[in-house]
Amino acid sequence: MTSVTTTDGISTTLGQYSGITASTIESLLQADSSYVARTKAQTQITTNSSQQTAWGDIKSRLTNFLTDVQALESDDAFNTKVATTSDSSVASISGTSAADEGTYSLSVSQLATNTKVIGSQVSTDKDTALGISGTLTLNSSDSSTTTATSVDVAISATDSLSNVVDKINAQTNKSGVKASLVDNHLVLTAQTAGAKTLAVSADSDSVLSSLGMSSDATTTTTGKTAKFQLDGVSIERNTNSVSDAIKGVTINLSKISSDAVTLSLTNDTSKATSAVSTLVSQYNSLMGLISDDLDVGDPSSSDNTQGTLVGDSELTRLQSQLSSLMTSSATNGTALNASKLGISITDNDGTVGFDADKFKAQLASDPDAVKNFFYQSTKSITGTTKSESGYAASLGSLANNYLSDTSTNKGTIAVKLAGYTTSTSELNDQIKKLTTALEAKKDHYVDIYTRLDTAMMKAETQLSYVTSLTSSTSSSSSS
C-alpha cells in the first residue's frame, strides 16, 4: 500500500482500515477546548479592531469639534472689524479687537517723508576697491525729541562702494540710517520719517570725496512730518501709518487731500455667526456618529445589526454630557443662554439647530455680553491663564478630557485605544500558544491512528496468509 502525505501533513493511508481520517481528526480538534478558546480569541481581535477604529473616528470628529469650540474663545471671532473708506487713494483704516466701532472724518495736508543725503556719482565701479581707509561718521538727530545718534563706520583700502553700503547697513538698527546705491550715487536715508538732521563726516577728506560725500557734492532733502486733521483735531506724526491716535485703530495716509475722507469701523458679525453655525454643524455630525455607534438596532429581529460600540459606558457618558452642555441654560454671568442665542434642539433625535437671525440680533444689541457668554478668562501677573469660564470653555474642557494624550495626562480616548492595542497583543500571544498546543494534539492523533491503521494492515496481511495456508492444506488433503 503506497502512502502519500497531503498538505496538512497527514498520510493518505490514514483511515483505510480504522476509518479515522484527516477529517475525523479535524473534528476532534474543533471539539477541543483549545480550539474553542482560539476561535474566541480570534473573534475578539476582530471586535477589538472594529471598536478601535470606531473610537479613532470619534477622536477625529471630536478633535474637529474642539477646534470649532476654540474659535469661539478668540477675541477675533467677536471683535473683528469691517473697515471702509470713502477714498482709498487718500487713506485707509483698520482696527484690532480692542478698537471701538466708529466713523471718522479725515483730511491730509502733508505726508511724512524721510530725510535723504544724496552723494555725487562715484567714478569707480561699485565692486572695485576704492583704495581708501579711514572712518566715516554718521550723525542723525531729531529736534522734536532732542535725541542724537553718532555711528562710526570703519573703511579699509580693499572696500568697494558696495562694501561700504553693506557696512553702513550692518549698523542701521543703531544709526537709524539706511544706505543704497542709485547709479553709483551713495544715498543715505533716515529710517524714521520727519524733520530729522542727517550729517556725514570722516577723519579725512579723501574718504568723503572717494564716496561722493564731500559737503559741496551732496544734496540733502530734509524729511517732513505727516499733518492731518481727524474729526477736526490737528495731528502731526513722523509716520504715514498712524496707530496711536485712536485706541486699536491704524490709519494709513497715502495722498494729500483737502477734501474730507470718511473712515469707518463696524463690528463684523459674519465671523461670529459663521463660527457658531460651524460649531452646531460639527456637533450634529459628532452626535450622529455616536448615535450610530451606540445603536441597539431591533433586538426582536433575528438578524439584528447593532452599533460597533453599543453598550460602551464611556461613549454613552460623552453623548449625555455633550447634549447637556450644548443646550445648557447656563448664562456665565450674562443675561444670555444658548437658546436666546438661537442654539436649541429642533427634533426628537436631539439635533441642534441654529437661528442665525436671532444670534445676529443679540450680537448687534450687546456684542460684549455675547462674547462673555461664550468665553471669559482671568490672567495671572505673569500673563498666564488662571481660570476660564463660559459656554465654549465648558465644551472645550469636556472635549479635552477625552482627547488629552500627554505623558502625564491620558484622556479617555487615549486610554481606550491603548487598551485595545494591549488586549490584541495579549490575544495574539494566547492564539500562538493555543495553536502550538493544537498542533501537538494533532500530531498525537495522527500518530495514534496511523499506528492503528498499520497494525490493522499487518493483521489483515497475516490473516490472508493464514487463510491461504489453510486453503492449501485443505486442497492437499482432498487429493
Which string of DSSP letters, residue by residue, matches 263-310? EEEEE-HHHHHHHHHHHHHHHHHHHHHHHHHH----TTSTT----TTT
Number of domains within the chain:
3
Grid coordinates representing 64 are 474637529
| Structural domain includes residue 433 | no
| Structural domain includes residue 460 | no
The pLDDT, as a whole number, for residue 468 is 75
* Residues 368 and 396 both lie in one domain: yes
The pLDDT, as a whole number, for residue 101 is 87
The pLDDT, as a whole number, for residue 4 is 45
19: left (phi over 0), alpha (psi -120 to 50) or beta: left
Helix (H, G, I), strand (E, B) or coil at 241: strand
Grid coordinates representing 79 are 471683535
Helix (H, G, I), strand (E, B) or coil at 252: strand
- Largest separation between any pair of C-alpha atoms in the chain: 160
Grid coordinates representing 278 are 460651524
Helix axes 391-403, 313-326, angle to 10 degrees: 170
User: End-to-end alpha-carbon separation of the chain, Å?
Assistant: 36
Q: Which of the listed residues 374, 403, 432 is the one where a domain comes to its end?
A: 403
The pLDDT, as a whole number, for residue 17 is 65
Mean pLDDT along residues 76-92: 92
At 3, the pLDDT band (50, 70, 90 cuts) reads very low
CA 251 to chain centre: 33
CA 280 to chain centre: 20
* Residues 386 and 321 both lie in one domain: yes
Residue type, 360: K
Residue 438 Cα distances to 24, 38, 442, angstroms: 15, 10, 6
The CATH number of the domain holding residue 186 is 2.60.40
**Domain region containing 281:** 39-75+270-297+305-403
Q: What are phi and psi of 428, to 5 degrees?
A: -65, -40
* Residues 70 and 93 both lie in one domain: no
Helix (H, G, I), strand (E, B) or coil at 236: strand
At 73, the pLDDT band (50, 70, 90 cuts) reads very high
The answer to whether 185 and 116 have CB atoms below 8 angstroms apart is no
Residue 110 has pLDDT above 50, yes or no: yes
| Structural domain includes residue 465 | no
The pLDDT, as a whole number, for residue 447 is 76
| Structural domain includes residue 217 | yes
Helix (H) / strand (E) containing 401:
helix 391-403
* Residues 254 and 339 both lie in one domain: no
Mean pLDDT along residues 283-300: 94
At 100, the pLDDT band (50, 70, 90 cuts) reads confident
| Structural domain includes residue 285 | yes
Residue 221 has pLDDT above 70, yes or no: yes
The pLDDT, as a whole number, for residue 256 is 97
Burial class for 457, CB neighbours closer than 10 Å (0-12, 13-18, 19+)? middle
Burial class for 154, CB neighbours closer than 10 Å (0-12, 13-18, 19+)? exposed
* Residues 126 and 194 both lie in one domain: yes
* Residues 147 and 107 both lie in one domain: no
* Residues 142 and 231 both lie in one domain: no
Per-residue pLDDT tens digits for 125-179: 999 999 999 999 999 988 767 788 999 999 999 999 999 999 999 999 999 999 9
Q: What is the full DSSP assignment across 127-166?
A: TSB----EEEEEEEEETTTTEEEEEEEEE-TT-BHHHHHH
The pLDDT, as a whole number, for residue 367 is 86
* Residues 120 and 96 both lie in one domain: no
| Structural domain includes residue 3 | no
The answer to whether 224 and 111 have CB atoms below 8 angstroms apart is yes
* Residues 141 and 219 both lie in one domain: yes
Above pLDDT 90, what percent of the chain?
A: 64
* Residues 101 and 123 both lie in one domain: no
Beta bridge partners of 107: 229
The pLDDT, as a whole number, for residue 185 is 97
| Structural domain includes residue 398 | yes
Pairing assessment for the beta strands 352-354 and 343-345 based on DSSP bridges:
antiparallel
Per-residue pLDDT tens digits for 386-421: 789 999 999 999 999 999 999 899 999 999 999 999
Question: What is the gyration radius of the CA atoms in the chain, in angstroms?
Answer: 44
Q: Which of the listed residues 403, 420, 452 is the one where a domain comes to its end?
A: 403
The pLDDT, as a whole number, for residue 326 is 96
The pLDDT, as a whole number, for residue 139 is 93
CA 293 to chain centre: 26
Q: Which of the listed residues 375, 403, 431 is the one where a domain comes to its end?
A: 403
| Structural domain includes residue 150 | yes
* Residues 219 and 231 both lie in one domain: no
* Residues 236 and 96 both lie in one domain: yes
At 477, the pLDDT band (50, 70, 90 cuts) reads low
The pLDDT, as a whole number, for residue 382 is 67
At 470, the pLDDT band (50, 70, 90 cuts) reads confident
